[in-house]
Structure 1
Amino acid sequence: REAADGELSTDTASDPRKMRLSRAEYKQIVRWTEQQRPTRQCMKVLKDKFPNHSQSTLLSIFSLEYQKRTKRTISRHHAPDVIESYYQRYCIIAVSIASYSLCFFSHLYHCVDLSPALMARLILDRFLLDLEGGMPSKTILNSMLKEPSLIPDQILAKHIYQCTINDCCYGPLVDCIKHAIGQEHEVLLCDKLKERNLSFLDENQLRAMGYDKTPDIILEVPVAVEGHIVHWIESKASFGDDHSHRTYLNEQFWSYWNRFGPGLVIYWYGFIGELDCQRDRGILLKDCFPTDIVTLCHAAQQPE
């Protein structure tokens, strides 16, 4: 299923649209995202432009690219004089707003190229500075972002709420969705393994056994996928681009390989095809649960 409002879908296993992209296809999508803002409306534009790609794949690519843009520029938005200018512009406009429209915030975050949720956080943080007479605690700030009804200013509360639900890259709603989808795909992976009667240990079981850094699944009996031995499986509910895959290789996958042997990574929302170049070294990439698993029993039954 795919959500009409641009949220990530969880039914990736049966999605017939293209998930494994060439680097050229990926760069074409990236170029189109460069001028887009992180609102749910932008996903409609991307869907229309690239109808052959999953909406979840497009959203994952856009989110990854926008986060890279934000990391390059976020420091300038946190300068005290910049925050003050944003807040004073908000205060001037808010006094004259009779309704709870999003017009000011929409105009502001489009002008400065900052996500709605991050802009809302800056404005709320500055508002609380006056309200509390000092630097607000992160606990209070985060609780108000998650539950805007706690904000004493009703107009600001409405603006914060609208920014949160309109942002497809940042904010408490996006964090909650991503966490839930990650867990759903881990459950999906476990269900697929059980359907194949494959014995495995999941991450929780491994941690209980004392392992501190583990893949999502370790197979108690290894299998073969497309002629490659697999001892472990890692589930990634995201798109595998160059930057994220390189980071995962250095911080996770190679350490899994060193400890447990060769394994399989499933990027449920697709990946750049050229990244699947470590098969001979022991790391296989797929965009769905493999259908051609060969177990030890099957191998033993093969005619000589």
Structure 2
Amino acid sequence: MKVEVYNEILKEIKSFSGSGRKYTKHLQDKFPSVSDLTLASIYSLEYQRKMKRTHQKFYNIIEELYDRYTSAIEAGEDVGVMLRLAEEIDLSPALLARMILEKFYEKHSEEGAEPATKSFLTKLMKDTTLIKDKDLAYEIYLCVVYDDQYGAITDCVKHSLGQEYEFRLQRMVKDLNIPFRDEEHLRRHGYDKTPDIKLEIPFAVDGFVVNWIESKALFGDEEGHNTYFKDQYLSYWNRFGPGLVIYWLGFIETLELRTEKCIIIREDFPTNITLMDPTSIEPHPVTV
């Protein structure tokens, strides 16, 4: 993606406050040449970073937010109190719900009761029927279901999308009869950080030798790529040599201009790979 287009998309996103449900259609109308999944990925990445930057300030006023919630419930306001509050303060509904849930159990702790640890709160967020206050349980349930950018449901959707593209990649490699090992196999044999595919026989793309392939079902921007490079790609390169990273939902063009010699970046499986033929001295190109 051209830098100018990406910056224009970011400008639109940063000028908006509210839920992704309300804004996705606007982005699609504004940038019809960009796929819906790519726009959704860019928006999601920016939204999550925004929450990480700003959510701490809401912990500083959680007493006030909790009092506003309880006052609204006692006054008999319509359901969706937390959703309306989250939209007003521009905070993820799921994050607000977790903060209020934690405060509730701090105020209503009983002797011998399970402490409000992170794992305990996560369990309640995943199964709101375990929450002893019925109003609180339903309010949190609404937040979890409605929040399309944060929380358990969002994590499941992203995990499912990631698996879908991993399976697509494996199918493409299998169709070419290229032997490989997947992440599960590598982990069973003691590797801690593993790419999605480790090729048994390397191939070349535009003269670049590829030993492994990593599938990313998201848009590749500078911040995300730098994090993945430090936490994943560099480890793969140290262990297996150079590899290929596929950002299926596209990437900003500046990533391609980087001089890192340990990886190449594509937004689809390459169509001009060169395979090694063990029966011949010369490798032969294959068009996918």
TM-score if structure 2 supplies the norm length?
A: 0.89
Q: Gaps (5+ residues) in structure 2?
A: none
Cα gap change, 1:277 to 1:289, in 2 (>3 Å): same
Q: 2:74 aligns with which of 76, 92, 95?
A: 95
Q: 2:182 aligns with which of 177, 196, 202?
A: 202
| CA distance in structure 2 between the aligned counterparts of 1:252 and 1:92, rounded to whole angstroms | 47
Asked if 1:37 is matched to 2:18, the reply is yes
**Match for residue 270 of structure 1?**
250
**Match for residue 145 of structure 2?**
165
| CA distance in structure 2 between the aligned counterparts of 1:197 and 1:72, rounded to whole angstroms | 46
Q: 2:29 aligns with which of 48, 52, 55?
A: 48
Is residue 218–residue 249 contact of structure 2 (8 Å, CA) maintained in 1?
A: yes
CA offsets 1:57-111 (integer angstroms, 9 cap, x no match): 11211111122222222221112xx1110010011111223643x2x32332122
**Match for residue 144 of structure 1?**
124
Cα RMSD between the aligned structures?
2.1
Is residue 246–residue 269 contact of structure 2 (8 Å, CA) maintained in 1?
A: yes
**Match for residue 38 of structure 2?**
57
Q: Gaps (5+ residues) in structure 1?
A: 1-20
Counterparts in 2 of 1:165-244, with a 5 A limit? Answer: 165-244=145-224
Cα gap change, 1:223 to 1:77, in 2 (>3 Å): same
Question: What code does the residue aligned with 1:217 have?
Answer: I
| CA distance in structure 2 between the aligned counterparts of 1:53 and 1:301, rounded to whole angstroms | 35
CA offsets 1:12-52 (integer angstroms, 9 cap, x no match): xxxxxxxxx11211111111111233432222222222222
TM-superposed deviation, 1:119: 0.7
CA offsets 1:238-277 (integer angstroms, 9 cap, x no match): 1111101011112221222222222100011111012013
Counterparts in 2 of 1:50-89, with a 5 A limit? Answer: 50-79=31-60, 82-89=61-68
What secondary structure, in the 3-state scheme, does the structure 2 residue paired with 1:109 have? helix
Q: 2:271 aligns with which of 291, 295, 302?
A: 291
TM-superposed deviation, 1:231: 1.0
| CA distance in structure 2 between the aligned counterparts of 1:206 and 1:136, rounded to whole angstroms | 37
What secondary structure, in the 3-state scheme, does the structure 2 residue paired with 1:238 have? coil
**Match for residue 121 of structure 1?**
98
Question: What code does the residue aligned with 1:143 have?
Answer: K
TM-superposed deviation, 1:133: 4.1
Aligned length: 278
What secondary structure, in the 3-state scheme, does the structure 1 residue paired with 2:212 have? strand
| CA distance in structure 2 between the aligned counterparts of 1:65 and 1:26, rounded to whole angstroms | 12
Is residue 164–residue 172 contact of structure 1 (8 Å, CA) maintained in 2?
A: yes
TM-superposed deviation, 1:207: 1.8
- The 10-residue stretch of structure 1 (227-236 or 145-154) with the greater mean CA deviation from structure 2: 145-154
Higher relative contact order (CA 8 A, sep 6+): 1
| CA distance in structure 1 between the aligned counterparts of 2:267 and 2:30, rounded to whole angstroms | 22
| CA distance in structure 2 between the aligned counterparts of 1:55 and 1:301, rounded to whole angstroms | 37
Asked if 1:110 is matched to 2:87, the reply is yes
| CA distance in structure 2 between the aligned counterparts of 1:254 and 1:152, rounded to whole angstroms | 47
| CA distance in structure 1 between the aligned counterparts of 2:39 and 2:17, rounded to whole angstroms | 12
